Homo-oligomer: A and B are copies of this chain.
């Protein structure tokens, strides 16, 4: 490919986006933003995307069959699973104007995921136990109604997705396939050049199961996720589900003091309160009231410095959904203005859930359930009974311990590159999709779903592999294998030689981007090559004489090679 003919060259000045990947990919001519979260892939970017997708395809072909489902789907499919009214990223289509409305006024769903299409599809074809298990996958565009989309290719309103769905006659078979899929996924990430930094992380299984799903997270300083690692067990947790034990806080020679109610009007936040009361933050208590979907009001408390993890709380409370209690409810329950709720003297009808971080303290603070008042020097067994049980209902944070072994977590930033979910019978039941077993009886079908976002991965690779000069592509996904720069091309003999090298490389089926521009300085060519990030840079110039300069993008030292040496180096039989 001649760079002079390429559509989408590097830009001298380019907008700084909110993420490294958007900034670098735009400046180097891989993508163009149509609007936030929606990009055009320019020729260079499309080459990378295709390579990523082809690697994914080859690996998925070992465990499933490729198909291609439409993005548009009848609304009734989504009503059948109850998701039409609840999924908050769901978009539908509607005619854009009066002429369109007159032509066809029907609305359709624009799929953000395809369980609602693939389940009825499978149901049309495979019913007998003999044909299970099987798996179907596709690579196509997904649509999500995201607000304020940031992070370049990492989060999109329209993005590329590989989604695979597996179907099984038993939970055991699902689990076996699920484990196998982890291996296949790791092969994909290895081939994409991110395998050694990608780990399998326990994550939430969604609201319909207490089970975990699994995320593949690539360790990366700019990652938007936080991963907690238990070294002795070699387990990784996503922050959202990390079991957490607060480190013990001890203050020497503490005597039990008498409870005291202190007036502190309008002092609400724990930091402000600790300062006001002249006590450590760890001695404060954060108490929140919630209302559940089954009409209970509950109180939940964590030690100051922590937040409540609503997902953990929901599971402990055993309800399907909960939300912060209304001002009205708080006033009724605490008989105080909002901001002074505490764990003291609550009505008996209120269930109280205390995080383990609330325990093991002496002379702690809690709201007084009295407007403008905070109680200090509160102690279990004196001012309130020691609860029968403490829970883990907090958001884990750095410094927390893994409860089982009491070891401190290693905490790291990471970016999600894939996720897999055991769906069990949620969708097959919604569509009444059953199989006919050996005994002639209808039995439930178990499903799993398995996602990888190729466009997202393109962004993550750039987040992970770049330096201050530009992108550093892994060789398997680079748009070209080598970037050939012709310098001093006004000299006809040099020009002849560089075209010779170009032709020779093409003949050997090497993917070459040839910077053949004649009106551009050597400096510009070098900095463009660094920005674009192709793994191998070749230079032919006066200075290289009969040789060709060879330099890897991730190394500093160039070498001078003959054409034959070069071809050998590029592992090509000449």
Contacts and interface: CB of A to CB of B under 8 A. Distances in A.
A38 interface: yes
Contacts of A134: 7
A88 B94 contact: no
Interface stretch (A138-146, A294-302, A330-338, A476-484): A138-146
B7 A125 contact: yes
Nearest to A75: B96
A121 B31 CA distance: 11
A46 B66 CA distance: 8
Interface stretch (A100-108, A260-268, A399-407): A100-108
Contacts of A41: 67-68
A43 interface: yes
A546 to B, nearest CB: 33
A87 B99 contact: yes
Contact of A143 (B46, B84, B93, B146): B93
A145 B99 CA distance: 10
Nearest to A109: B96
Contacts of A70: 34, 38-40, 141, 158
Contacts of A95: 90-92, 145
A108 B68 contact: no
B125 A72 contact: no
A72 B6 CA distance: 25
Interface string A49-84: 100000000000000011111111110001000001
**Chain A interface, >50% SS class:** mixed
Interface string A8-41: 1100000000000000000000001011001111
A40 B117 contact: yes
A67 B74 CA distance: 30
Contacts of A78: 96
A89 B103 contact: yes
A163 B28 CA distance: 25
A110 interface: yes
A40 to B, nearest CB: 5
A126 interface: yes
A157 interface: yes
A32 B124 contact: yes
A270 interface: no
A249 B181 CA distance: 77
Interface residues of A, number: 65
B43 A66 contact: yes
Nearest to A157: B72
A492 interface: no
A147 interface: yes
A40 B65 contact: no
A207 to B, nearest CB: 13
B34 A74 contact: yes
B87 A92 contact: no
Given A88-B102, A99-B88, A7 B126 contact: yes
A46 B73 contact: no
A85 B101 CA distance: 11
A318 B487 CA distance: 59
A509 interface: no
Interface in A339-368: none
A300 B299 CA distance: 81
A556 interface: no
A67 B38 contact: no
Given A66-B43, A70-B40, A87 B91 contact: no
A158 B71 contact: yes
Contacts of A91: 93-96, 100
Interface in A397-454: none
In this complex, the member of A38, A104, A121 whose beta carbon has the largest number of chain B beta carbons within 10 angstroms is A104
A82 to B, nearest CB: 11
A124 to B, nearest CB: 7
Contacts of A85: 97-98
In this complex, the member of A49, A74, A88, A136 whose beta carbon has the largest number of chain B beta carbons within 10 angstroms is A88
A512 to B, nearest CB: 16
A99 B121 contact: no
A521 interface: no
A102 to B, nearest CB: 7
Contact of A86 (B67, B89, B99, B148): B99
Interface in A142-194: 143, 145-148, 157-158
A70 B8 CA distance: 17
B100 A87 contact: yes
Given A67-B43, A73-B38, A90 B94 contact: no
24 contacts: A7-B67, A7-B126, A34-B72, A34-B73, A34-B117, A34-B121, A46-B68, A70-B141, A71-B158, A72-B143, A78-B96, A84-B96, A85-B97, A85-B98, A86-B97, A86-B99, A88-B97, A90-B95, A91-B95, A92-B93, A92-B94, A104-B145, A104-B146, A104-B147
Given A7-B125, A35-B72, A46-B67, 5 more contacts: A32-B124, A46-B66, A46-B68, A88-B97, A91-B93
Which 7 residue pairs of A and B lie closest in terms of their CB atoms, listed nearest first?
A: A88-B99, A90-B96, A104-B147, A41-B68, A92-B96, A91-B93, A38-B70
Interface of A: 6-9, 32, 34-35, 38-43, 46, 49, 65-74, 78, 84-100, 102-104, 108-110, 117, 121, 124-126, 134, 136, 140-141, 143, 145-148, 157-158
